[in-house]
Amino acid sequence: MHNRGTLSYLAPEQGVKGAKLHDVYRVEVFQLGVILFRLLFKQSPFKPSSFEDPMARDPEFLEKFIESDRNTNKVSISQPLKDLLRGMLQYDNAKRMTINQVLDSKWFCIMRNALVNDF
């Protein structure tokens, strides 16, 4: 049994009985995207009680969220981080980033270089 907070971490295809997973690791990419989103914005990207949140299917959901009143802390993020989040939170499992694409993303490359240069 899941509570409302846990449901917000599930990938959309996990809430559909009989849905086929194209790549089970992409489910985990979605979950990591939700965690990253929550760390940045202090809230879930989608309604936790519904797998049918229309915003989840909107390719521009991130830009709309950042500009909306839901972004209560007025958090602004870089374009590479927006691209990463958009790819990780892709509604369609087949189009969602793979873990290798996440690790090879521009944002991760920037962060990796920053860490190397700090030591």
Banded model confidence at residue 119, pLDDT cuts 50, 70, 90? low
92-117 average pLDDT score: 91
| Residue pointed to by tokens 């694409």 | 101
33, 27 in Cβ contact below 8 A? no
Q: Which two tokens stand for residue 64?
A: 């709309």
Question: CATH classification of 4-118, choosing from 3.30.450.90, 3.20.20.450, 1.10.10.10, 1.10.510.10?
Answer: 1.10.510.10
pLDDT in tens, 22-78: 667 888 999 899 999 999 999 888 765 555 666 777 878 889 889 999 899 899 999
Whether pLDDT at 4 is above 50 = no
Question: What is the Cβ-side half-sphere exposure of residue 82, based on CA atoms within 13 angstroms?
Answer: 14
Determine the angle formed by the axes of helices 106-118 and 79-88, rounding to 10 degrees. Answer: 120
3-9 average pLDDT score: 49
pLDDT in tens, 67-93: 999 899 899 999 999 999 999 999 888
